[in-house]
Structure 1
Amino acid sequence: MRKLSLVLKAALAATLLGLLAAQPAWTATATSSSTLATPRYYEQTGPHQVTKVAGGPDHTLYYPSDLASDPAKHPVILWGNGTGATVSQYDEVLKHWASWGFVVAAANTGQSGSGQEMLAGGKFLVAENSRSGSLFQGKIDTANIGAAGHSQGGGGTIAAAADPMVKVSSPVEPGPQGSVPAMRGPSLFIAGQLDYIVPSVYVRGRYASATAHPAFFAELKGSDHFFPGDTRKRLIGVETAWFCYWLAGDQQAKAVFFGPRSSAELFNDAGWSSVDRNAKADAVS
């Protein structure tokens, strides 16, 4: 029976790899045209203007434009694209994070499943934090680095989250790359209710393997693999809150996830069709 289960898992992983190889992720044409009268707090643009530049080994960097004059250290988010996708296709979410005070290092590749491409951006920023004359000298909060990615980049996020550099992660509709039990910090697994490329049941299965650290599963109502319309705003807001809490200590963001399930915002948001958290996450509450 165990051998059969391993064969089935291998077959599913092979099928997913084939699908992901054939699908560009988060298409540039699928922009968010929100019809929301009042966006939720973390869906709103943050207080910073944003600068976008090429940098790192092979990365696109997003950061608050007032970085040089701001005395604060800034947490980091490492990003991995989906298969065959480019950083520009995720421009909306990456700029949004930078507007909230994060420095974002997005790997310029559509093959980020190893996680190493993402980690290279983190290593670059850690080195720049100590390099005399660097724009980022003394500006990087090296103890607060997160990772997120979509599709194959979600699998890369799982792989990157095994590295001690990464404090917290959020795999979005992740492929089969990486080992969930090897992840070291809190994780938020995002699935799409109507995703037939990386089905929700598969993402839930990966989340179920996260028993050694606090983990959440959240299924986005009405979303396919490319987050059409308002589903993209829902995703961006929840991801922003996740990183604001874990990387910046934002206690308002904590209330999105933690506390009694009867009052925690994510469990009571009609934009999400299914939400769960494991025993380790319950203990945080």
Structure 2
Amino acid sequence: MRKVMKIVLILLGVVLILLIAVFFYIKSKLPNGGGNNDITEGYYERFQSDEPLEMRYANPSSFETSYTEFTSDNESIGKVRVWYPTELEGSDKIWPMIMVVNASGTPASSYEPFFPRLASWGFVVVGNEDGQTGNGQTASITLDFMLNVPSDSVLARKIDYHNMGIIGYSQGGAGAICAVTKYENGAYYKAMFTGSAAYPTLARNMGWEYDASRVTIPYFMVAGTGKSDDSGSDPETSYGGVSPLSALTSNYNSISDDVQKVRARAVGAEHEQMLMRSDGYMTAWMLYQLAGDEEAAAVFVGENAEILHNNNWQDVEKNQ
């Protein structure tokens, strides 16, 4: 009996070692930052597009921006970081808000120039310092904080809680889907964008399991055509890249046709390039969904939608 128990324990130990090895192998395949490593001051100046709307929305807009931060009781969050139009301070207007869910190992402070550029379009943009966001928990906790922002804060009574969006990249893409579908306060979000979200099998293996079919808000999902996002392998039997076309298509198809949805891939883009490559159309999507911007809507809506004839994008599918 003791000999049998010893053999069982040895086998369990071997299995545990193999599981740990598989975990770290998969983790090593995820590029840190999901596209955030190139986001330095003036990063948008390196972006080029022949399409006027994409080029316009990839750049800053006219609002000057300011910054405030709050220390969180949650160790993973560290600080809640908020960028906003400076005009907010001297008016009674309420402003739409965007929650940003970080990619792997990428706190908001590591790609800071992204936030004021987006805020310059008239958004309150919220980030935190969590580098492991895949289960959506810290996004949910951060949202709870913003829903109850301190009464003495410059942001008090200045956020439009009926017009809030969420965006996430790589691991943070899985985290954004989880934040919307697994937490009660996810019902506050009006629109979602994900850039190269970890595909479902990869997300499940990493502890970030999500079900895209539960998404009921307008959703714009993108990925790159490069090998780091789509290795060409069957993602169900081997590592398929972070966000292969087959998984993007499956996620898109799983969502009800009653929900406005768009999917597309950035031509030639590797995983680490996706934040900059998708910046313009991500901004347009949020302006369209949260601010009712008709010009931004022209990127996505109708037979002549700009994204359909933009050489920067392929594998485009939409239902409006």
* TM-score of the superposed pair, with normalisation by structure 2: 0.74
Structure 2 CA distance, aligned partners of 1:207 and 1:90?
Answer: 28
Deviations along 1:103-128, one digit per CA (max 9) or x if unpaired, are 11112111111112112222222212
Distance 1:23 1:44 in 2: 25
Q: 2:26 aligns with which of 4, 8, 18?
A: 18
> How far did residue 88 of structure 1 move?
2.9
2:92 is matched with 71
Structure number, greater radius of gyration:
2
2:276 pairs with 1:253: no
* Correspondence 1:54-93 to 2 at 5 A: 54-55=69-70, 57=72, 58-93=79-114
Q: Quick check: 2:31–2:272 contact (8 Å CA) kept in 1? A: no
Q: Structure 1 residue 27: deviation in Å?
A: 4.6
Whether contact under 8 Å (2:195, 2:278) holds in the other structure is: no
Q: 1:134 aligns with which of 153, 159, 162?
A: 153
Q: Does 2:193 align with 1:193? A: no
Give a deviation string over 1:124-180, Cα, whole Å, max 9, x none.
22212xx53321122100001111111110000111122201111011111123221
Deviation at residue 56 of structure 1 after TM alignment? 5.9
Alpha-carbon offset, residue 93 of structure 1: 2.7
Q: Does 1:206 align with 2:251?
A: yes
> Matches of residues 194-273 of structure 1 in structure 2 within 5 Å?
194-196=226-228, 197-201=241-245, 202-211=247-256, 213-227=259-273, 233-260=276-303, 263-273=304-314
Deviations 1:175-224 (A, max 9, x none): 12322112220111111111423133232322222225221101011110
The equivalent residue for 1:101 is: 122
Work out the CA distance in 2 between the residues paired with 1:95 and 1:270. 28
Aligned to 2:68: 53
Are the structure 2 counterparts of residues 193 and 75 from structure 1 closer, same or farther at C-alpha, using a change threshold of 3 Å? same
From the superposition, tell whether residues 101 and 16 of structure 1 become closer, same or farther in structure 2 (CA, over 3 Å): farther
Aligned to 2:170: 151
What is the match of residue 4 of structure 1?
none
**How far apart, CA to CA, are the structure 1 residues paired with 2:83 and 2:95?**
12
Per the TM alignment, residue 37 of structure 1 is displaced from its structure 2 partner at its CA by 8.2
What is residue 232 of structure 2 aligned with on the other side? none
Distance in 2 between residues matched to 1:92 and 1:48, nearest whole Å:
15
The DSSP-based 3-state class of the residue aligned with 1:164 is helix
Structure 1 residue 102: deviation in Å? 0.7
- Matched to 1:121, the amino acid is T
Take 1:241 and 1:93, find their aligned partners in 2: how far apart are those partners? 15
Percent pairwise identity: 27
Instruction: Return the letter of the residue paired with 1:61.
Output: V
Alignment-derived partner of residue 275 in structure 1: 316
Unaligned runs of 5+ in 1: 1-13
Separation in 1, partners of 2:219, 2:270: 21
Conserved in 2, the CA contact under 8 Å of 1:167 and 1:184?
Answer: no
Alpha-carbon distance in structure 2 between the residues aligned to 1:21 and 1:79: 23
SS in 2 for 1:256: coil
Q: AA paired with 2:31?
A: Q
Q: What is the distance in 1 between the residues matched to 2:255 and 2:227?
A: 21
